[in-house]
Each structure stands twice: as structure tokens, then as C-alpha cells.
Amino acid sequence: MHPEDKEKTAFICPLGFFEFNRMPQGLTGAPATFQRLMEKTVGDMNLIEVLVYLDDIIVFGKTLEEHEQRLEKVLKRLHEEGLKLSLEKCQFCLPSVTYLGHVVSAEGVSTDPRKLEAVASWPRPRNVTELRSFLGFCSYYRRFVGGFAKIAQPLNKLLQKENTEEGCKASDRNPSAPGPRKARESIQGEWTSQCEGAFLKLKESLTQAPVLAYADPHKPYELHVDASREGLGGVLYQEYGGLLRPVAYVSRSLTPSEKNYPTHKLEFL
């Protein structure tokens, strides 16, 4: 902490007033401030030689020699800014690393098996809160699942309710725009075979997710798209070793107005 800013972190307790000498992550602006510091330190190397997110730094290279050169460069930058590393948390010269819930290796990017253990044993949601938790977790890995929006559609419908409450004027009702449900509202009576199928399909798709290839800007891209009344989907491919490998899957549901489009216009979306 800069000396002139320490007083801004002061707090009181039975033993008196105390100030932080190092920036705590609990402060409102701390994450953004720290990220700006990291961008200042290695911002010109980010996405080219390193990946930086707050205090997580990945130094990568095609060869061991290149990796060592970049690592030395990063360590020098950190030293110049007065930043210190915890040796216990550092790992060097690894063929693969786990980063933000993903496994990054020479083969590509895959899901973290330790994270997906929770999906395999995830119990059937009983209320809106539990369903939102499940869908939120799955959505984090949606780029690994083809047609995610289409698969999850029956479950997303359970999160909405029609705006048909008594006392609401007919002119104020919008059946095409359902509202959110209460957090602890039970969904067990509305859990259909379609919901069960979607629940199991999402779990299966995530536990068997493919390894995504890295996007190479020097290679041509191939985009496959699909559109139907159930949603839009696409896959971005690149050729590696004579085979097309997925770089990312994308999908989304249709808006109420888009559901009125003819099929050939949906393809343009």
C-alpha cells in the first residue's frame, strides 16, 4: 500500500485502529486495482507470452528454451515492480496446468476433471435455487458443449413463470415475457421426463467434453451453424493434422420476436 493510502483501509476493533500495509482483496476496488497493476507490469506480454488474471500468471512457450526466456522476463518485471511470489504456490516447466477450472496443455483446453466430479454426482434439483446453481455451473463450460441452449431449454423454462397473477390488467400482461420465480419455489411437481432427459444429457455432455483446440490466427477458420425453433448453435473449427478440431461451441435461445421468424431467416442470425 502507498503510505498516503493506508489510512483509507483503517478499521476499528477492541484493540484500537489498524491499517493495512498490504492491499487486502476484501476492499471494494482491490481486484480492479490489482489487475491494473498486473496489466502495467506484463500487459504488453499478455495473451502473447503469458496469461494474467489477478494473481494467476501462466507463462507459456513452444519449447523449453522459449519458456525459460519468457519466465526470466516475467520474473524481472515482477521484481522491478516490487512484487513477490510465494514459492509454495509456484509451479515450473509443466506440460499442463489447471487454470480457472480448465486444464491447459499442448493438446488444447479441456475441462478440469476435479470440478466435473461434482457434476457426475449432482442430485436432481428440488427448487429454483438448486436449479439455478446447476445451470450456472454448467454454463461456465458451455463452450465445450454443442447445442447447450437447446439441451438446457426444458430446465430454463422451469426458471420462468407466466405473468398471469390476479389483479394484473390484460393490457399489462405479456405472455411472451415470463417473469422470474421465487428462489425457494419447488419445481418437483413440474419435473417432467424432458427435464430429466436434459438434466442427464448436460451431465453426460460435460463429463465427456472434448479437448478444444487453440485458435490459430494464421490458419483458416471453418464455421458450422444450425438454426431451429429450439435455438441457434454453431461450432468454430480449425484443421489440425488433416482433421477438423473444435475451437469453441456457441449457442443461445431465441428471443420471443425471433420465434416468429421463418426458418430461412433464422439461419442469418
Give whole-number Cα distances, 20 to 17, 152, 213, 226, in Å: 10, 46, 44, 54
Nearest to residue 251, comparing CAs of 185, 173, 152, 155?
152
Residue 129: the pLDDT is 93
Per-residue pLDDT of 52-74, as tens digits, reads 998 899 999 989 999 999 999 99
| 225-267 per-position pLDDT tens digit | 999 888 899 999 999 999 999 999 999 999 889 988 988 888 8
The residues, any chain, with a CB within 8 Å of residue 84's CB and separated by 6 or more, are 78
pLDDT exceeds 80 at position 216: yes
d(CA 195, CA 263): 26
Quick check: 12 pLDDT over 50? yes
185 Cβ neighbours under 8 A, 6+ residues apart: 127, 128
pLDDT in tens, 126-177: 999 999 999 999 999 999 999 999 999 999 999 886 533 433 343 444 544 5
Residue 35's H or E segment, with its range, is helix 30-42
- As given in the structure block, the three cell numbers for residue 212 are 478444444
* The pLDDT of residue 181: 74
CB 57 within 8 A of CB 90: no
Domain annotation for the chain: domains and CATH numbers? 3-94 (3.30.70.270), 113-266 (3.10.20.370)
Place of cell 496446468: 97
Q: Quick check: 264 and 127 in contact, CB under 8 A?
A: no
Residue with cell 507470452: 49
Rounded Cα distance between 134 and 122, Å, is 8
Pairing state between β 243-252 and 231-240: antiparallel
Q: For strand 231-240 and strand 222-228, is the pairing parallel, antiparallel, or unpaired?
A: antiparallel
Q: What is the pLDDT of residues 179-210, one digit of tens each?
A: 677 767 888 999 999 999 999 999 999 999 99
